[in-house]
Structures are given as structure tokens and as C-alpha cells.
Amino acid sequence: MFSHCVAPTLVLRGQGVWPKAIEVIRRLGHHPLVLGRGAPTRPIRSQLLATFQRAGLSPRPVELRHDCCEEDLERIRLEAVGGTAAASPDSVIAIGGGKVLDAGKLLAHRLEVPCVTVPTSAATCAGWTALSNLYTPEGAFLGDVALERCPDLLVFDHDLVRQAPPRTLVSGMADAMAKWYEASISSGQSTDGLVRQAVQQARLLRDLMLLEGPAALERPGSEAWVRVAEGAALTAGVIGGLGGARCRTVAAHAVHNGLTQLSATHSLLHGEKVGFGLLVQLRLEEVVGGNRLASQARQQLLAFFGALGVPRTLEELGLAGATLPDLQRVCHHACADSSDLHHLPFPVTVHDLLAALVSTATQTQPVA
């Protein structure tokens, strides 16, 4: 028997869909806990809170102080259950980027109330998935937590998402593209029908990013922008839902997790680190796995990422002053026994990964 959390119970997507979302949220309860973080999304959250109040709801706004971490989650949970029963939250509404959405999903799971995710960018597919990534208060990746279900409602309002900086869409594109390169090598030979469909969907998603990504960045709100933004934030989640645990992240995300151990990378977005990790994975496939096609794929991505501004060098990662022990720390974390890096079809040592990381960061020009 296989268990899949494929999709949110309801997805509202399109321009100006928020008023429709209010109707659905009201059916979930009248005392939502509204979770956000930081100044960039505060104006949007203030606007949405006003619509709650006009609709007769009694929202309780709370803010994360860090990334999705146990210390923040426990603080908010205790605050939420510390009042009267009548004032206890009957839903959690997470408004923001991936780490806020992850925190909202995990908090709703622990409070045993419905969850609503409202992405304010297309930087990740966190609004879709039944998974939360946990970090330390300082921003270092600890691990992920599988949840019992996807969100009860996902609101992907184009008007909200279009306000995000272009950099967030670039991050989402890099993260979405990694689905193909990771799923194909970990699950490309699977005989499971759903997994095979998920892998092929990942290929189509990669092609969409390559073909329409530049146009989407040039014309926010255009049809190309809609397809790319929804591909990064929604379709990427579909792939994980259909493929489940057998359609895994591999080395690109493992390198991301390793990079978060260094504070100098904490200003980078998730997809920016994943994109660099994808170049490292392809280098591993080429040098350690002996796959010549990986070299061609890497050359293509070097040019594409260079045009988009996805980090390809240690300097662009904020690691120009990184020491050998720093890079070894990244590699040791990425090669831990529990790491998804080991879903590669060949063994990889810390030394192998260090060599691939360093050579990736110094070979940024595609071969003519």
C-alpha cells in the first residue's frame, strides 16, 4: 500500500481571487491565527487582515522571529492555546514565503486545525506540499517533517504574487527545474505508474522554465508569467504529491541543506542555493557517475542561470572568503547518512562532493 498527500483540498488561483477565499475561510472558522514574518509582506498582510475584519472574522496576527524553527513554533503555540477556549484559533492562515508557509502548516498540524496557505511569491512550492522544513533559529537546515495532509486551502492570487521582487520568481524557477534533474536520476527507472508520470511532469516543467522563464521575467502578469509562476509554485507541488517519497530530492537539495550551515548564505533564497546545488549534482554525475550527458546539461544551465542571476560561484553565494573547513562543513552535512544525496545511483564521498563543489564554483563559462 502506498500513501500519497497529492494536493490541497481546494486551490484558488487567478487574478483577484482573494474575495472568494474569504468565503471559504469563513467556513473553516471565525478565529484564524494569521502567521507572517518581516517587513516585506507586512503591507499585504495588513490589507488581508482588514478584509477578515470586514467579513466579521476575528483574526489574531502573529509574527515569526526566525525561519521555521521549533523555538518560534512553540512560542506561538503556547500563545495560541494560552487564552480562553472561545479565543483559541480554529484555523491557521500562513501568508508569506516558503518558510512562513512551512511554519503555518506545521503549526496547524500541531494545533489540529485547518491550514490555509497564501503564497506572496512563486519562490517555492511550499504552499502546496504536506511537508515542512525545520531550521535552527540561526537559519541552518535541520530536517523535514512529513505532515498528514496538504493544506485545506491554497490561495494563489496573481495580484499578490506579482508584487514580489523578480528575484523570487528566479528562485522558484531554479527550484522547479531541479525537480526534473533530481526525480529523473532517483526515480527515472521506476515501474510505478504514478512515479513515472511525476518524472515526466518534471521534465515538462523544466522545459517550461527554459522556454518561457525569460519572457515571464520581462512581462510580469503576462500569460507566460502566469504559466511560469504557477509552474514553480503549484505544478512543482503536484510532482512531489504524485511521486511521493519515491520521487525524491537528491544532491541539489542536499547541497542547499549543507550551504545553510554557513551564515554567509542565509541572505540567499532557497532556490538560489538549490540552483547552485543542481550544478554540483550534474558535476557529480559527470565526474563520479561517468554520465557524459550530464556535462551537456550543466553547460546549458550555466548559460541559463548566468542570464537569470542564479549564483554559480562562491563569490555569488557570499562565500568568497570561505575557508576549506567551511566548505568541508557544507559537504559533511550534505553527505550525512540520512541525506537524500545518497539517492544518486553511485556512491559519493565527502571528498567527491568537495571536488565537485569547488570545480563547479570555478567553471562558470559554458564550453563554446
Residue that is written with C-alpha cell 511554519 in the block: 103
Give the Cα separation of 177 and 253 in Å (integer).
Answer: 12
Catalytic residue among 67, 102, 152, 253: 253
Q: Helix, strand, coil % (nearest 5) of the chain?
A: 55, 10, 35
Catalytic residue among 67, 175, 340, 352: 175
Annotated active-site residue 266? The verdict is no
What residue ranges in 49-151 does DSSP mark as E strands?
A: 60-63, 91-96, 115-119, 131-135, 141-146
Residue that is written with C-alpha cell 554557513 in the block: 262
Catalytic residue among 67, 102, 256, 340: 256
- Cβ count near 138 (within 10 Å): 12
Catalytic residue among 102, 152, 158, 270: 270
Annotated active-site residue 144? The verdict is no
- Residues 25, 94 contacting (CB under 8 angstroms): no
Q: Which of 59, 61, 64, 60 is nearest to 38 (CA)?
A: 64
- Residues 237, 128 contacting (CB under 8 angstroms): yes
Three cell numbers, residue 356? 565537485
Give the Cα separation of 201 and 179 in Å (integer).
Answer: 9
Annotated active-site residue 159? The verdict is no
The strand order across the sheet containing 32-36 reads: 10-14, 153-157, 115-119, 91-96, 32-36, 60-63
Give the Cα separation of 16 and 325 in Å (integer).
Answer: 50
For residue 322, give every residue at least 6 positions away whose Cβ sits within 8 Å of its Cβ, in sequence order, or none: 262, 264, 314
- Cβ count near 120 (within 10 Å): 23
Which residues form the catalytic set? 175, 253, 256, 270
